[in-house]
Amino acid sequence: MTFLMDSKVLSTFGQHGKPHTVLDLGSLAALGFALAFYLLKGTPWNRPDPYHRLWFERPQFKDGFQSNQPAAIRNIAEQLEQTNQEVVIFWGSQSGTAEIFALKLARECHIRYGIKAMAVDLSDYDSETISQIPETKLAIFILSTFGEGDPSDNAGRFWELLRKESSELFLPSLHYAAFGLGNSNYKYYNNVVDVIVDVFNKAGAKAFMPVGKADDANGGTEENYLMWKADLLSVLGEKLNRQERDNIYIPTLVVREDPLLKPIDLHNGTPIEQSCGSKTKAPKISSIQALTVTQARELYNTPKRNCIHLELDLGSHSQVRYKTGDYLAVYPIAPDEEVDGLLNALGWQENGSVPLIISVCGEGATPKIPSPTCANALLRHYIDICGPVARDVVKDLAQFAPTPESKDLLLGLGKSKTAYYTFTNKNHVTLGRLLSLAAPGAVWKDLPLSYLLDTLPTTRPRYYSIASSSVISAQRLAITVGVETRPLPEEPSTDIKGLTSNYLLAIANAFSKTESLPLYQLTGPAGVLEGHKIHAAIRKSKFKLPTLPTTLIVMFAAGTGIAVFRGFIQERARLKSIGRGVGQMILFFGCRNPEEDFLYHEELEKARKELGRHFEIVTAFSRVPGREGRYVQDVIRHKAEEFSELMNKDASLYVCGRASMAREVTKAVQDVLMAQNGWNQTKLDEWSDSMKRGNKWFDDVWG
């Protein structure tokens, strides 16, 4: 590019182009600035300052925590040496159970045996450095499995490393123990711990005790873990030459009041973003935003049960976008009765809003609870006070009991499995309720708030399949919420209410100005949820429609499992309406009674008319008076020949619902194919593996 200058301008610089005066210099500088502006298009000064936010942060509370924390060490071997730890307990947790087991185990190692142990999030350290852990240190892995044998989000990078580089791993100095959390209703029961143990052993690692496994199919996770933990602590005591001591609580956190802080300084309940530990991939979950619920309606036609349809507006939240098949992560709020009951039992009812600063005792750890905050926010938003109290926690609480009678009661319940289950079958035992039942009217003044933070899990989001298509409504999504209520075994008049589903029911009732119990602070912390808003985020899913819209798909669902298929059907109906070719869809759907809980019946009938031969619904009703109950698996067997023909057309299979339903559907599919095709078990296994590898079989199951 050529730039021409006026001769008069040029002449001002003299014969040889040199400036002679201040004016000359100014003209030259202006010309240079203009040229730079033209060539660079303003890039340097238009780029946002990445540190601009620091002008508005209080330096002592950067990132929600106190800023005097040392820089994070990503090498776990170095961390163990620097902090002189003897045992490291890695946790991979999706719902929070594995995390709380690990944290409690680290404390028990120290309290009962004087063993220096640290519990760490697998994503907080570089997975490669596990190979550097010396044989003088012991490693324990507590790992959950969910979905189709998947690891928790925070264990994803560790899982990928082991699976991709298993043949190159060399771990001769690693001495480890492992415990897995799973559900035998799932096809891949405890797959994560099985795979990791196999890789470890092939790499030369040495297990110092047998692998433990928890099965949540019948609610046995807690007892399975307690039995394994008892053996583990005994082995650790022997290996490290320690004698057991009295189990007296030693806090890992310091909680102190700071009345000089103002409300604006506090974390008042807004959820804290959690890292998934992936350093190379896009996050699986979006940022958390306050999304507006724009519509709510009841889907069941029975007064005894509730299922609600909610629609949410993503609006201007450009960082929160979904694709058909994704999940909505909803962050719940604890009900007023649980918060107030626990505050009263602790004697904090007058001090719930007092500013608190939370810090760790010792080195090498970071509090999972944001600081500064207050007790009201802690109990309502940050720690889960609505879950049942585990038997070992009941036993520990005895040391804080305000009366001899309450101490004896708690010790008896904690030591006897039979006594504990007899008591909990008659009483809904959340922490606040337990304290009130054990010592009615008494104040537990010796029970420190730090114990709750050390012992109770943090509040985690609950995930709901999105029941809409992003092709049709990119900025508006829907979820289908089955409201959980379960009567006590020996007190059927008392219901145990699901935390998140009943919170969402309260929001739905607020639309019609119908008051329901329990009550919640629906306006949220500092009123940020006023106007029917909830804190939520989008979580990516692998449960997606085939890339080619002409692919035949067969869908199996029961109850609220139909939610994700509503989005699938909407998307294909829209494609057909604009002239695109679509493949056939067959939906096998089961519910109790078509008059009571046939979800989205009218919508499905409308879609059937729009899609014509491209959409078929096969129903199974389990509780119709005067008729034999039928489930989805029964219908599959009844239509064995037709189903076998569908599979010969290269169909993709999708199963969505409770794990027990998915297990029975899978078995029915396999039985039908073996019988219709004359396959043996080897041929069936080959077919199943090829379906999974080819992304032709998808499961989205829970419970």
The predicted structure's pLDDT at residue 193: 94
Q: Is 458 left (phi over 0), alpha (psi -120 to 50) or beta?
A: beta
What is each CA distance from 568 to 296, 466, 551, in whole angstroms?
21, 10, 12
Least confident residue range of 359-368, 456-465, 468-477, 676-685 = 359-368
Band of residue 146 on the pLDDT scale cut at 50, 70, 90: confident
Average pLDDT over residues 399-427: 95
Are β-strands 495-497 and 307-313 bridged in parallel, bridged antiparallel, or unpaired?
unpaired
| Residue-range domain boundaries for the chain | 7-45, 76-239, 253-272+335-455, 307-333+467-539, 553-702
Rounded Cα distance, 286 and 276, in Å: 11
Name the residue type at position 25.
L
Residue 673, both tokens: 């194919």
Query: In the CATH scheme, what is the code of domain 253-272+335-455?
Result: 1.20.990.10
For the segment 276-283, the average pLDDT, to the nearest whole number, is: 48
Q: How far is CA 117 from the centre of its chain?
A: 26
- At residue 35 the predicted structure's pLDDT band, cuts being 50, 70 and 90, is low
Q: Is pLDDT larger for residue 217 or for residue 395?
A: 395
Residue ranges in 290-386 assigned as alpha helix (H): 336-346, 375-377
Q: What is the pLDDT of residue 501?
A: 96
Report cis status (omega within 30 of 0) of the bond before 372: yes
> What number of CA atoms fall less than 13 Å from residue 688's CA on the CB side?
16
**For 208-217, what is each residue's pLDDT tens digit?**
999 999 998 8
Pairing of strands 553-558, 585-591: parallel
pLDDT in tens, 417-444: 999 999 999 999 999 999 999 999 999 9
**Is pLDDT of 541 > 50?**
yes
Give pLDDT, residue 548. 95
Instruction: Please give the backbone phi and psi of residue 457, each rounded to the nearest 5 degrees, phi first.
Output: -70, 155
Q: What count of residues does the chain have?
A: 703
pLDDT of amino acid 249: 86
- Confidence category of residue 362, pLDDT binned at 50, 70, 90: low
Please state the pTM of the whole predicted model.
Answer: 0.84
Given this chain, do its domains 76-239 and 553-702 carry the same CATH topology? yes
Where does the pLDDT of residue 403 fall: very low under 50, low under 70, confident under 90, or very high at 90 and above? very high
Q: Please state, in angstroms and rounded to a whole number, the distance separating the CA atoms of residues 596 and 391.
A: 39
Q: Is the pLDDT of residue 5 over 50?
A: no
* 580-627 confidence digits (pLDDT tens): 999 999 999 999 999 999 999 999 999 999 999 999 999 999 999 999
Angle, alpha carbons 653-163-189 (nearest 5°): 50
pLDDT of 491 reads 86
Amino acid in the structure at residue 173: S
For 17-28, how does the pLDDT look when each residue is reduced to its tens digit (9 = 90+)? 444 555 555 555
Q: CATH code for 307-333+467-539?
A: 2.40.30.10
* Mean of pLDDT over the chain: 86
pLDDT number for residue 4: 38
Beta strands 533-539 and 495-497, pairing class: unpaired
Please provide residue 407's backbone torsions phi and psi, each rounded to the nearest 5 degrees.
Answer: -65, -45
| Positive or negative torsion for Cα 105, 108, 110, 112 | negative
pLDDT at 274: 63
Q: What's the fold here for domain 553-702?
A: Rossmann fold (3.40.50)
Q: How confident is the model at residue 73 (pLDDT cuts 50, 70, 90)?
A: confident
User: What pLDDT score was predicted for residue 137?
Assistant: 94
Query: Looking at the predicted structure, is the pLDDT value of residue 689 above 90?
Result: no
Identify the pLDDT of residue 484.
92
Q: What is the CATH number of domain 76-239?
A: 3.40.50.360
155 and 123 Cβ atoms separated by less than 8 Å: yes
